[in-house]
Amino acid sequence: MRYLNEEELEIATRFLFLSMAMTVIKQDIHHIQLGEFKIKEPYIKLLEEMNKHAMTERRELRTTMNHQRIQVVTLNKNDSFSSYLFLCKGREEKRNYFNPAIRKKVEVIVEELMRKALQPYQDYASVNT
């Protein structure tokens, strides 16, 4: 049974998966810094710009969540599933996510952030062609 409305659940899940995407981006920055890339700077700059966009969005989501009294709590994780508790104004809803589905949702967010980070370069290229 659903106890949170569609908007509340959308805000909470976006916050959850965006936070996971930020973790992935930070790990990727670390791997590139330690990796055998010949030219690291462009990749690190791209990932840092992606993280900047993610931080801005997450800050806005956190503000919205505070106003609407929405919280996300990790319950448990295993090899196949992860469980989260979504709380809102005294109501709660437990959700189980299949870990490969989480990975796909995070991947979609990483791609969105990449498009946002690359947008100024694409705009520049289209003006100069």
DSSP for residue 62: H
Please name which of 38, 60, 57, 62 lies closest in space to residue 117, comparing C-alpha atoms.
57
Average pLDDT over residues 69-81: 96
Over 80: is that where the pLDDT of 1 sits? no
**Sequence spans of domains, the chain:** 6-127
36-48 burial string, b = 16+ CB within 10 Å, else e? eeeeeeebbebbe
Res. 60 pLDDT band, cuts 50 70 90: very high
The pLDDT tens digits of the residues spanning 84-99 come to 999 999 999 999 999 9
